[in-house]
């Protein structure tokens, strides 16, 4: 029996205080993706296997370009948050932190690359 | 709070002794599809980058994605995307405290599974 008060025993053992922010961010991005993903599937899909000139002309139009750019950005935002939970559940210690940072950075790189590519196609 | 024994109690979830349930299987599949879609997303970004670079590079990326293997990956991605979208919609519903009863949750699970295949077939037919 240690001389600890119940308050002292519980202190620091609770939430990380950021859970709702992460939860809410995933709700917002999933709601956005519910709208974006079907539009993206039906604007991006038909371009697979089309000639290069057709593809560049298509993504020079505002709607397909905006849908593609938004889908890339919001998808990787959503992925960054989702994969963090996956890593937190199965991997612990330093490797957990390293992997979370690595996956977030990968998400940033992929989103930036996608936006850059779409901007170059569109402009 | 008394000094309780935290050492030898069984831990939940007891994955090794559970009979697989529709609810748990559809749940883990949500995670698997969501994270596996990274591959699909990176392929799409690569395809866009190639299209913005040159006709030659685009031909390479486009032939990779439309090869037999590429088509298989894209088809699986499409199913994964629809599955994850429907399962995500189910989570958005659950988050309001609605549909959490076992019967309703299982019905929603079947809706997600069947819906994902129907949407995949419809998309392939249209696109």
Note the ipTM here. 0.85
Q: Comparing C-alpha atoms, which of B25, B42, B36, B45 is closest to residue B87?
A: B25
Q: Do B49 and A82 touch (CB under 8 A)?
A: no
pLDDT, position A109: 98
What does pLDDT average to over chain A?
92
Position A19 pLDDT exceeds 80: no
Per the domain annotation, does A1 fall within a domain? no
CATH architecture of B22-126: Up-down Bundle (1.20)
pLDDT, tens only, B67-124 = 999 999 999 999 999 999 999 999 999 999 998 999 999 999 999 999 999 999 999 9
Position with higher pLDDT, B127 vs B103:
B103
Look-up of token digits 């629809």: B82
Q: Give chain A's domain count.
A: 1
Position with higher pLDDT, A20 vs A91:
A91
- Count of A-B CB contacts under 8 Å: 93
Residue B32 structure tokens: 């698997």
pLDDT, position B72: 96
pLDDT, tens only, A57-112 = 999 999 999 999 999 999 999 999 999 999 999 999 999 999 999 999 999 999 99
**Counting beta carbons within 10 angstroms of the beta carbon of residue B57, is it exposed (0 to 12), middle (13 to 18) or buried (19 or more)?**
middle
The secondary structure element, H or E, covering residue A50 is none
Radius of gyration of chain B (CA): 20
Residue B92's Cα: distance from chain center in Å?
15
The three-state secondary structure class of A11 is coil
Q: Do B38 and A41 touch (CB under 8 A)?
A: no
pLDDT, position B5: 63
Per the domain annotation, does A39 fall within a domain? yes
Position A29 pLDDT exceeds 70: yes
Establish if B72 touches chain A: CB-CB under 8 angstroms: no
Helix, strand, coil abundance in chain B, percent, nearest 5: 75, 0, 25
Per the domain annotation, does A25 fall within a domain? yes
pLDDT, position A4: 81
Name the H helices within A1-123: 6-10, 19-44, 52-59, 62-90, 94-122
pLDDT, position A53: 93
How much is the pTM?
A: 0.86
What residues of A are in contact with residue B123 (Cβ under 8 Å)?
Answer: 41-42, 45
Alpha carbon of A118: minimum distance to chain B alpha carbons (Å) = 7
Neighbours of B123 (CB within 10 A): 18
Per the domain annotation, does A10 fall within a domain? no
Position A12 pLDDT exceeds 80: no
Position B3 pLDDT exceeds 70: no
Q: Comparing C-alpha atoms, which of B38, B57, B113, B108 is closest to residue B83?
A: B113
Q: Find the domain containing A42 and state its range.
A: 20-122
Phi, psi of A80 (to 5 degrees): -55, -45
Q: Which of B35, B51, B78 sits opposite A83 (nearest CB)?
A: B35
Q: At A24, which CATH number?
A: 1.20.1300.10
Nearest CA in chain A to B86: A34
Residue B81 structure tokens: 């995307």
pLDDT, tens only, B9-65 = 767 767 777 788 888 899 999 999 999 999 999 999 999 999 999 999 999 999 999
How many angstroms separate the CA atoms of A38 and A42, rounded?
Answer: 6
Q: Which of B12, B28, B38, B48 to mutate to test the interface with A (most CBs of A within 10 A)?
A: B48
């Amino acid at each position: 029996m240690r001389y600890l008060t119940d308050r002292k025993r519980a202190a620091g053992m609770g939430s990380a205080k950021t859970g709702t922010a992460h939860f809410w961010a995933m709700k917002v991005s999933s709601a956005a993706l519910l709208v974006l993903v079907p539009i993206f599937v039906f604007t991006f899909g038909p371009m697979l296997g089309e000639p290069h000139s057709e593809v560049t002309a298509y993504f020079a139009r505002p709607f397909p370009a905006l849908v593609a750019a938004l889908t890339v950005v919001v998808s990787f935002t959503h992925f960054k948050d989702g994969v963090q939970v996956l890593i937190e559940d199965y991997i612990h210690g330093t490797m957990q932190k390293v992997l979370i940072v690595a996956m977030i950075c990968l998400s940033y790189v992929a989103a930036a690359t996608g936006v850059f590519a779409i901007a170059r196609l569109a402009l | 709070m008394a000094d309780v024994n935290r050492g030898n109690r069984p831990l939940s979830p007891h994955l090794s002794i559970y009979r697989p349930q529709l609810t748990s299987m559809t749940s883990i599949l949500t995670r698997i599809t969501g994270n596996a879609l990274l591959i699909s997303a990176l392929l799409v970004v690569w395809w866009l980058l190639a299209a913005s670079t040159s006709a030659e590079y685009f031909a390479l990326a486009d032939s990779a994605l439309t090869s037999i293997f590429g088509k298989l990956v894209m088809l699986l991605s499409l199913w994964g995307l629809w599955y994850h979208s429907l399962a995500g919609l189910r989570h958005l519903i659950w988050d309001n405290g609605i549909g959490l009863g076992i019967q309703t949750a299982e019905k929603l699970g079947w809706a997600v599974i069947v819906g994902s295949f129907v949407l995949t077939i419809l998309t392939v037919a249209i696109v």
